[in-house]
Amino acid sequence: MTVTVRFLPDDVTITAEAGEPMLAVAQRAGITIPTGCLMGSCHACEVELGDGTPVCSCISSIPPSSEEVTINLYSDPLW
Ligand code: FES
């Protein structure tokens, strides 16, 4: 299943396969997501999905969706 993925705030849109690792898709789109542990515990890589759900991108993959998936790399002032 092909999913359209949109990265904010850079507003880069790319197509990906459902289940592809989020970091790999971001890299292909030329987006750098800051990472640390790569194990889902430090939250350095946290991004927000279109519905506002925070996820650790290092352990997440592209969800199957018939609609565009938005991945928001908000910059957390606490970091
Ligand atoms: S890199 Fe540490 S939670 Fe993702």
Lowest mean pLDDT among 34-38, 45-49, 65-69, 75-79: 75-79
For residue 64, which of 25, 16, 30 has the smallest C-alpha distance?
16
Q: What is the pLDDT of residue 41?
A: 96
Give the model's confidence band at 74: pLDDT under 50 very low, under 70 low, under 90 confident, else very high: confident
Overall average pLDDT of the 49-54 stretch? 92
Which atom of ligand 1 is nearest to 35's Cα? 1
Q: Please work out whether the CB of residue 35 comes within 6 Å of at least one atom of ligand 1.
A: yes
Q: What is the mean pLDDT of the chain?
A: 93
Domains and CATH numbers, the chain: 2-72 (3.10.20.30)
Count H helices and E strands in the chain, helices first: 1, 5
Give the model's confidence band at 66: pLDDT under 50 very low, under 70 low, under 90 confident, else very high: confident
> Residue 58 in 3-state DSSP?
helix
